Amino acid sequence: MTAVRVMLVDDQHLVRAGFAMVLESADDLTVVAQAGDGQEALDLLATIEVDVVLMDVRMPVLDGIEATRRAVASRPGVRIVVLTTFDLDESVTAAIAAGASGFLLKDAAPEDLIEAVRTVARGDSVIDPVSTRRLLAHAAPLLAAPTTAPGSAAAPELDLLTPREREVLVLMGEGLTNAEIAERHVVSEATVKTHVGHVLAKTGSRDRVQAVALAFRAGLVR
139 vs 187 by CB, closer to DNA: 187
Q: How many Cβ atoms from other residues are within 10 Å of residue 119's Cβ?
A: 17
- Interface residue with a copy of itself among 28, 60, 133, 201 (CB under 8 A) is 133
At residue 169, the 3 state secondary structure works out as helix
Return the residue of 153, 179, 204, 217 that touches DNA, per CB under 7 A. 179
Residues 109-168 that bind DNA (CB under 7 A): 162-165
25 vs 188 by CB, closer to DNA: 188
Angle formed by the axes of helices 91-98 and 129-144, nearest 10°: 70
Q: Which stretch binds a copy of itself (CB under 8 A): 22-30, 50-58, 83-91, 193-201?
A: 83-91
CB of 128 to DNA, least distance (A): 18
Q: Does 195 bind DNA (CB under 7 A)?
A: yes
Close Cβ partners of 172 (under 8 Å, ≥ 6 residues apart): 181, 196, 199, 208, 211, 212, 215
**Is the dihedral angle over the CA atoms 109, 111, 114, 118 positive or is it negative?**
negative
Long-range contacts formed by 186-189: CB under 8 A, 24+ apart: none
Query: Which residue from 62, 70, 67, 43 is spatially nearest to 54, judged by alpha carbons?
Result: 67
Out of 2, 76, 206, 222, the residue judged to bind DNA by CB under 7 A: 206
Report which of 10, 205, 181 is spatially closest to residue 106, judged by C-alpha positions: 10
Per-residue binding letters, 156-195, with a copy of itself (x by CB under 8 A): -------x--x-----xxxx-x------------------
The footprint of DNA (CB under 7 A) covers 162-165, 177-179, 182, 185, 187-188, 190-191, 193-197, 200-201, 206-209
